[in-house]
Structure 1
Amino acid sequence: MIDVIDFKQSVIDVRLPAGLPLYLQALWHDGTGDWKTAHDLIDELTDQRSAHIHAYLHRKEGDIWNADYWYKMAGKTRPQVSLDEEWEMLVKEYSR
């Protein structure tokens, strides 16, 4: 798919890599500070990866009830790490 280092560099360069699946596009937009676009990309998707990222986005928004719903849909629990750490974990997990 994409190397984590290259993904993170593309966020710094604000250069969206071609061919990313929507769930990684959502993480990319969130990484650039565009939460709304990130959420809009992921909002209607129902697969587990997308649900996991949707959960993170609602956690970041501060909507914990909604975040927990999406973590459950993803088969995950809300992590006890910072949002930056969670973003990094998601990029690592889903860029393989």
Structure 2
Amino acid sequence: MDLEAFKATLAEAEPLEEWGRPLQALWWAAQGNWDRAHRLAQAEPGPDGAWVHAYLHRLEGDLGNASYWYRRAARPVSQAKLEKEWEAIAAELLP
């Protein structure tokens, strides 16, 4: 699946289970459901979950917390527009 196909799924009622928690979290974030997205990202112990977690805290404006999660993800703190960062994360995580 490519980024455009992933974006097209935003018209669906739920994300696909086989995507895993980080992609599902991004999907929920795009739906405006920050809490559900955060729960999924927080439940993913690896660097992909930490990267999405960082994005979510940046989205909410908590830059200190976001910085912590970028470090956990071994990623630089993003300076990109939020939409561009969302796309970059999704593109990298898509199978």
- TM-score normalised by the chain length of structure 1: 0.90
Quick check: 1:41 aligned with 2:25? no
Gaps of 5+ in 2: none
Higher helix share: 2
The amino acid that maps onto 2:34 is: W
Match of 2:84 in 1: 85
Q: Which 5+ residue runs of structure 1 have no aligned equivalent?
A: none
TM, length-normalised to structure 2: 0.91
Query: In the aligned structure 1, how far is the partner of 2:68 from the partner of 2:59?
Result: 14
In the TM superposition, residue 45 of structure 1 has moved relative to its aligned partner by: 2.4
Deviation at 1:15, TM superposition (A): 4.3
Which residue identity lines up with residue 22 of structure 2 in the other structure?
A: Y
Structure 1 contact 12–32 (Cα < 8 Å) conserved = no
Residues 43, 49 of structure 2: 8 Å contact kept: no
Task: Please say if 1:75 is aligned against 2:74.
Answer: yes
Instruction: Give aligned pairs, total.
Output: 95
Q: Please, what is the CA RMSD of the aligned residues? A: 1.3
TM-superposed deviation, 1:51: 0.4
